Structure 1
Amino acid sequence: MKSLLRIITLFFCFPTLVFSQTSALENATLLRAREGLPFFFEKIKAGKPIMVGYLGGSITEAGKGWREQSLSWLQKTYPQVPFRQINAGVGGTGSDLGVFRVQTQVLDQNPDLVFVEFAVNDNGKKPEQIYKAMEGIVRKTWRQNPHTDLCFVYTLTADLAPTYQQGKLPASALAMEQIAEYYGIPSVCLGLEVAALAQQGKLIFKGKPEDAPDKIVFSADNVHPYPETGHRLYTEALAKALKQMADLKVTPQKRVLAKPYVNDNWEAARMIAVDELKKQGNWTTITPNTDSVALALQQRFSSLIKSSTPGDYLEVKMKGLACGLYDAMGPGTGQYSMEVDQDFKQTIARFDAYCTDYRSNFFVVPTSPNQTHVIRFKVSDEKVDKAAILKTRNQVMNDPSRFQENACYAGKLLLVGEIVP
């Protein structure tokens, strides 16, 4: 168990790995075209139907935002081409969940181009975790179809703007640039012009448009852009970059995956139906037709399983780099006690200060890749002081009955590795 404990300590403490970060990559620029989007533009020239995937967080998920606006721009710019889109944006999530989602939510629909937007939600994560997840997304994509083009896009928040204004990339985007550079993937700083306009005094990041008629008001909360302003600036930046890449003289060539950038990347990440797990106790299946929580999360899960009985558990026998659950958090959730090989336990809180409503969430814990592990996700019998937790955000239990239950939910098993019979 010492080796397992050491891996878990490394995972959560994130000591910085030593990778060369050249000054060229640190500098923020609208576009680094690298090998461009050769197969995408080849299909455009041929007038063939094109599927565009958008993998990201809430900024990508947003209706009327840069995702929809950029697809509309493509349709207007290339009217002879039928464009369709895949909306794989999930609010509040980064590349560490995106690498699990990309197969079923994007790649199974055979995209020709995939935009990857995680710089905001990966902010604060250590570079090594970003390397693992972003490289996993790249290798999964090209392992399935080497003709699928990829493009990393970097959005921003008000907190990240000063870094751009100094001509530098935030740490999350810089980590992604390492992967982009290694694989020749183009990257676009969607927020560079936004930061410049703010520096010039022409844009404010937070407010109501009617309160500042002489300014461009980016958003209501410093993060999520208004469609007419922030998202429009993102779309204009992407359109400018796409025009530049359309002029590249790049001959499409089948991609061959090279040696990984990091050997412990998450290419093997998978989402697995919880039906495949051993269940002990009173787990019940809930669907949008039978349960209000499942209905609230129906865009994330077609169904969930749930137990409120302490001691009930889900069990998986696995071998690989990491294991966890894609689940739900909200007023009526408690916590898991995660047991690894029956001699290591870790509490996984499923209630936090944002649990006034239900939302999808996830957790992943590293495992020793050279060992077979039996992992149990057990409903904890420890009570959660929900009132105290909510108070940290000045929130209260306005309807105490909604908070009485201490249930655990599960939607998908998250696994970097394989299930062992």
Structure 2
Amino acid sequence: MKDKKLFIVIFVAFFTFSWGFAQNNNDETVKTNWKGFERLHFKIEGKAAFLTRPEKPLPGNPWLWRGRFPDYHAEIDSMLLAKGFHVAYINTDNQFGSPKAVAVWSEFYTHLTSTYKLQAKVALHGHSRGGLFIYNWAKENAEKVACIYADAVVCDFKSWPAGFGNSKGGKKEWEVLKAEYGFKNDAEAKAYKNNPIDNLEALAKAKVPILHTVGLHDEVVPPDENSLLLVNNYIRLGGTATVSPCRSGIQKSKGHHYDIDDPEMVVDFILKHSTKNGPLNASNYHNIRSGLQNSYIQFQRNKKGRVAFLGGSITHNGGWRDSICNYLKNKFPETEFEFIAAGIPSMGTTPGAFRLERDVLSKGKIDLLFEEAAVNDATNGNTATEQIRGMEGIVRHMRKSNPEVDIVMMHFVDPDKMETYRSGKEPEVISNHNRVAEHYGIPTINLALEVTERIDKGEFTWQNDFKNLHPSPFGQGIYAHSMIQFLEDAFSGPIDDDDKIAARNLPKPLDAFNYENGVLLDILTLKLRKGWKVDPVWNPKDGKGTRHNYIDVPMLISETLGSLLKIPFEGNTVGIAVAAGQDAGSIEYRIDKGPWQKRNLFLKWSKSLHLPWYFTLASGLENKKHVLELKIANEKDNQSNGHACRIRYVYVNK
């Protein structure tokens, strides 16, 4: 009986919690009609919200986000809806753009971009105190903002509602604001340094255009203390800003409410910066940074060029790489080129860093390197730390080998990256690679974002045109077109007589344990123990697939349970490059007689392929002599049919 009562109590508690959770998140959506357009009403974080949808959305689903007073100057909403925009609003009215309100806005943004697939970049529209909302959210999310339209907005709460300047302010609103922000007194509020007028650097860097309309005789929110002050601050940072005084029509509420002189101008501003007319410009997805001046001079003046392509299967396969080679030969017809194709399927930045010496630098001085790994670094499950250490290792190793080398980093597309961009976020692997690119001034070509936005704009489709992360010929053409546009921009302009090829200094590394000294050790130099042997020309007998450089080559092999191998090395990182087929087993390993650890060598692709795979066993070690011990473990993956460990290389970072 007691157990039955306990069950009933638990059930009722769970039901009550679940019902309350559902009510709080309001999974029920109510439809209404607003001026002939469908409006969806729902709640996010307990806040009432709505999304008004156009009859025929523009490609990519661009949208306008109203910050406070959603029915004021609604003619702009009507005009945009008629042109195919969505219009959204969430009620955080008495929170005055506080950090708590900004957090709710971020939840709302994620909901709209994921559930309704709205465009990643949003146009913001704020009126009066709505300026606190739109700017405080925009400053934290600059990369998500297409443009900002601000109408008689509060840009500094010390002006309104505090009333510390020419505005009389609002006493009631001021007390509410202080409580919302957690200010204990006026002095603490005055010392606050994150009003809309402050910290505009991120918006300026993202080149977010802004348009303010003001009433020159506004006594409630005086332009001199708000819009004009913000615009001047923004222009000083290099931002693009326009101010339009509204002087015609009726002026009400001490000049704070007025008719917009030219609402079409506002609509055109939002349309221009939220959508593109005609095909998208590939240059929008390029960041030239320090450029390609050295290779430009080398190719144009010295008439010799060695160009390398390092990456995975998208670099290994024919297509865009062939187009780039042809472009360079046609661009510099008198130049003698050598092209090094160093793409190997499934390889990300860690393999790239350790095989760089063998596959690229051994060929001679490199003038220009194209590097890609965003697909494999993510697909292979590399951690953020590994992604940075690998990419930074490639860059630093290249620059140490030749301080004059130019490097181009490409971010290729896959379905996961497309979905991440559509949810309003940047894929983590691209963010990590961009950190390295920014630190070293490396140019980048973001093909993942470009393909996503071209598809969303309706230029082509993934299913019928691009087809796969290994692009169709059509997709290869998209890649090639963008990269050639990048090269055209980078190689534009004359080379003056006093222009010289310049060495680039290496800054302090982002990660002290990056793989800048990565090398592959020859397994033939290792001392073998019982149970281990070297097959000088290994070739699988099971009919499963193989990869280049992992067949008819020396392979260090053991299938004997408990067989031990000792590998002395010097450096801060050690790993093994194996052929992981359907009989791949598990190993136990330790460094310098430390605790034994386990590693399963069987991968999700192993059933059909003896896949080359780099397993980093230890990193972040003290840079000195160490001993790696590994042995064949008794247990194995349930899907594996053997205990094999086949080592093509041992790799270390010296």
Residue 36 of structure 1 contacts residue 186 of structure 1 at CA under 8 Å; is this kept in 2? yes
The equivalent position to 1:218 in structure 2, one of 442, 463, 466, is 466
1:306 aligns with 2:561: no
- Give a deviation string over 1:317-359, Cα, whole Å, max 9, x none: 2343221101111112212111223341112111133212211
How far off is 1:166 after superposition? Answer: 7.3
Q: Determine which structure has more spread, i.e. the larger CA radius of gyration.
A: 2
Partner of 1:68: 322
Separation in structure 2 between the aligned mates of residue 66 and residue 114 of structure 1, nearest angstrom:
15
1:358 aligns with 2:586: no
Residue 588 of structure 2 contacts residue 633 of structure 2 at CA under 8 Å; is this kept in 1? yes
How many residues were matched structurally? Answer: 368
Structure 2: segments with no counterpart, 5+ residues: 1-142, 144-201, 209-282
1:346 aligns with 2:597: yes
Query: Which has the larger displacement, 287-296 or 100-109?
Result: 287-296
Partner of 1:400: none
Cα 1:259/1:289, change in 2 over 3 Å:
closer
Structure 1 runs, 4 residues or longer, greater than 6 Å off: 25-28
How far off is 1:157 after superposition? Answer: 0.7
1:414 aligns with 2:651: yes
Partner of 2:458: 201
RMSD over aligned CA atoms reads 2.8
Residue 334 of structure 1 contacts residue 407 of structure 1 at CA under 8 Å; is this kept in 2? yes
Partner of 1:283: 532
TM-score, L = length of structure 2: 0.52
Partner of 2:11: none
Partner of 2:346: 92
The equivalent position to 2:443 in structure 1, one of 186, 191, 194, is 186
Residue 336 of structure 1 contacts residue 350 of structure 1 at CA under 8 Å; is this kept in 2? yes
Cα 1:288/1:47, change in 2 over 3 Å:
same
Cα 1:296/1:286, change in 2 over 3 Å:
farther
Partner of 1:272: 521
1:44 aligns with 2:299: yes
Partner of 1:399: none
Partner of 2:478: 233
Separation in structure 2 between the aligned mates of residue 411 and residue 282 of structure 1, nearest angstrom:
17
For 1:31, the aligned partner's letter is H
Residue 51 of structure 1 contacts residue 85 of structure 1 at CA under 8 Å; is this kept in 2? yes
Separation in structure 1 between the aligned mates of residue 358 and residue 308 of structure 2, nearest angstrom:
12
Report % sequence identity. 27
For 2:474, the aligned partner's letter is T
For 2:613, the aligned partner's letter is N
Partner of 2:628: 375
Separation in structure 2 between the aligned mates of residue 311 and residue 149 of structure 1, nearest angstrom:
48
For 2:489, the aligned partner's letter is Q
How far off is 1:164 after superposition? Answer: 4.5
Separation in structure 1 between the aligned mates of residue 611 and residue 500 of structure 2, nearest angstrom:
45
1:242 aligns with 2:487: yes
Give the number of the structure with larger relative contact order, counting CA–CA contacts within 8 Å between residues 6 or more apart. 1
Residue 165 of structure 1 contacts residue 199 of structure 1 at CA under 8 Å; is this kept in 2? no
Query: Which has the larger displacement, 165-174 or 79-88?
Result: 165-174
Separation in structure 1 between the aligned mates of residue 539 and residue 413 of structure 2, nearest angstrom:
39
Separation in structure 1 between the aligned mates of residue 563 and residue 206 of structure 2, nearest angstrom:
49
Cα 1:298/1:163, change in 2 over 3 Å:
closer
Alignment of 1:80-119 (within 5 A): 80-110=334-364, 111-119=366-374
Partner of 1:142: 399
